[in-house]
């Protein structure tokens, strides 16, 4: 069985048509929701480079 540690990022839309992103962090098992691409990039930056 393979263990994935990379985050899974999915672009979604709410019932108003607004786009947002769901990030599932396989390493911690937590899911984070971001409203902008900038927030996604910031989350990735913190996860990979500021630890």
The DSSP string of 8-46 is EEEEEE-TTS-EEEEEEETTTTEEEEESSHHHHHHHHHH
Tell me the domain boundaries of the chain.
Answer: 8-49
pTM for the full model?
Answer: 0.81
Distance of CA 31 to the CA centre of its chain: 7
Residues 17-49 have pLDDT tens digits of 999 999 999 989 999 999 999 999 999 999 888
Locate tokens 């984070």: which residue? 32
């Amino acid at each position: 069985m393979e263990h994935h540690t990379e985050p899974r990022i999915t672009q979604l839309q709410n019932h108003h048509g607004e786009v947002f992103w769901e990030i599932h962090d396989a390493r911690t098992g937590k899911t984070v929701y971001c409203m902008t691409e900038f927030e996604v990039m910031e989350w990735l930056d913190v996860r990979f480079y500021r630890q």
